[in-house]
C-alpha cells in the first residue's frame, strides 16, 4: 500500500471510529505517515491525558500503542487483528 493511500485510509478510519466511545481519547493524535507496516503519529499532551503525578497516563500510553500498531498492520493491507497480550513498561 503506498504511503498516500495508507495515510488517507487511516485518517478516514480515525474520523469514523473516534467520534464516540473510548477511542475518542486519541482524537487529537495526528497520523503523519502510514505505509508498509509503519505508522508515525504526533500529539500534544493535554491535561486530560496526564496522571496525578503530571505525567502521561499509562492507560493512554497503552491505548496509543494499541491503536497505532493496528494502523501499521492495516497499512500492509492485512486484517487489523485484535490485541490479546499487550505489555507496556513504564
Q: pLDDT value at position 3? A: 57
With beta carbons less than 8 A apart as the criterion, state whether 51 and 45 touch.
Answer: no
Q: pLDDT value at position 41? A: 94
Provide the whole-model pTM: 0.77
Question: Per CATH, the architecture of 3-75 is what?
Answer: Roll (3.10)
Q: Which regions in the chain score pLDDT beneath 50?
A: 1-2
Angle formed at CA 84 by CA 80 and CA 89, multiple of 5 degrees: 105
As given in the structure block, the three cell numbers for residue 85 are: 497480550
Q: pLDDT value at position 58? A: 92
Amino acid at each position: 500500500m503506498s504511503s498516500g493511500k495508507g495515510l488517507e485510509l487511516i485518517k478516514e478510519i480515525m474520523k469514523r471510529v473516534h467520534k464516540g466511545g473510548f477511542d475518542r481519547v486519541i482524537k487529537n493524535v495526528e497520523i503523519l505517515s502510514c505505509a508498509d507496516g509503519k505508522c508515525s503519529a504526533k500529539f500534544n499532551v493535554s491535561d486530560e491525558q496526564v496522571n496525578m503525578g503530571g505525567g502521561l497516563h499509562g492507560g493512554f500510553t497503552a491505548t496509543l500503542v494499541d491503536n497505532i500498531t493496528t494502523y501499521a498492520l492495516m497499512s500492509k493491507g492485512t486484517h487489523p487483528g485484535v490485541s490479546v497480550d499487550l505489555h507496556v513498561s513504564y
